[in-house]
Structure 1
């Protein structure tokens, strides 16, 4: 079975959409500072965003590993249980970083801002999902799952700034 990372690299439109509005670039995998997981589990940067944030796979394995996101300001959160779940989130709600309450109303407001700038967002998103073979959940379900992962199992994935031994701040609070 072909990996999703390979599929994104092969599908130009998928890579373009994930880069923007998804702010997810497979060519930006180096984090700006030394970090490790408090648990000692493996940490592998595999993508980044335009503001210096990094997406990490946690533990051993392949694309099914938990995904932790660390921004460049000292915040981090476990955001998905595997790459398929992460890509669903990025396709459905690329504005996830701006969500604070995870309500449908907040998400609609953020979506409206994106749609004002990119009226074809939904059509492009649907084309990318089809090209990658990803079934998309409802927006509310994707955001609820993000919150569930970050505030549930995510509590066991504490990112440490290695030089000072200090934990990153939680990006998503329960």
Structure 2
């Protein structure tokens, strides 16, 4: 099976959607700070966003590894259990960083804002998902899964600012 990263790079429509509105760029994998996981597991930056945030694979393996997101303000959270879950989230809820309550109402309001600015967004999303061979969850299901993954207990995915030994703050709280 071809890697999803390779597929995103090859499928222009999917790459464009993930770049905007997904704010996901495979050419921005370098984090601005020296960081490590408290567990000592491997940490590999592979993508970023326009505000200086970075997506990291955690542990050993391939694209099935857990994905941690760290923003440029010192907050981080596990956001997906693998790259395909992350890409599905970015396709159906590219506004996930703006969700704070994770309610259906909040999600509907954010969808409406995005569709007001770009009425063809749903069609673009569907073409991107088809190009990548991905089935899509509803935005509500994707956000519920994000919250479940991000708020589960454990030290396994705690990000540390290496020079000071300071723990990043939780990006998403229960």
Structure 1 length-normalised TM: 0.98
Between 1:132-141 and 1:147-156, the stretch displaced more is: 147-156
Are the counterparts in 1 of residues 37 and 156 from structure 2 also a CA contact under 8 Å? Answer: no
2:168 alignment partner in structure 1: 168
The residue matched to 2:77 in structure 1 has which SS?
A: strand
Please, what is the CA RMSD of the aligned residues? 0.9
Are the counterparts in 2 of residues 53 and 69 from structure 1 also a CA contact under 8 Å? Answer: yes
2:3 alignment partner in structure 1: 3
The residue matched to 2:78 in structure 1 has which SS?
A: strand
2:108 alignment partner in structure 1: 108
Between 1:44-53 and 1:112-121, the stretch displaced more is: 112-121
Q: Is there any run of 5+ residues in structure 2 with no aligned partner, and where?
A: none
Distance in 2 between the 1:153 and 1:65 partners? 18
The residue matched to 1:64 in structure 2 has which SS?
A: coil
1:128 alignment partner in structure 2: 128
The residue matched to 1:26 in structure 2 has which SS?
A: coil
Distance in 2 between the 1:153 and 1:63 partners? 23
Are the counterparts in 1 of residues 39 and 155 from structure 2 also a CA contact under 8 Å? Answer: no
Q: CA deviation at 1:154?
A: 6.3
Are the counterparts in 2 of residues 77 and 154 from structure 1 also a CA contact under 8 Å? Answer: no
Distance in 2 between the 1:64 and 1:106 partners? 30
Q: CA deviation at 1:146?
A: 0.1
1:51 alignment partner in structure 2: 51
1:11-160 paired onto structure 2 within 5 Å: 11-152=11-152, 156-160=156-160
The residue matched to 2:16 in structure 1 has which SS?
A: helix
Distance in 1 between the 2:99 and 2:73 partners? 17
Could you give the per-residue CA deviations for residues 122-171 of structure 1, whole angstroms, max 9, x where no partner exists? 00000000000010011111000000000015653100000100000000
Are the counterparts in 1 of residues 41 and 58 from structure 2 also a CA contact under 8 Å? Answer: yes
Number of residue pairs matched by the alignment: 174
Q: Is there any run of 5+ residues in structure 1 with no aligned partner, and where?
A: none
Structure 2 length-normalised TM: 0.98
The residue matched to 1:156 in structure 2 has which SS?
A: coil
Moved over 2 A (4+): 153-156
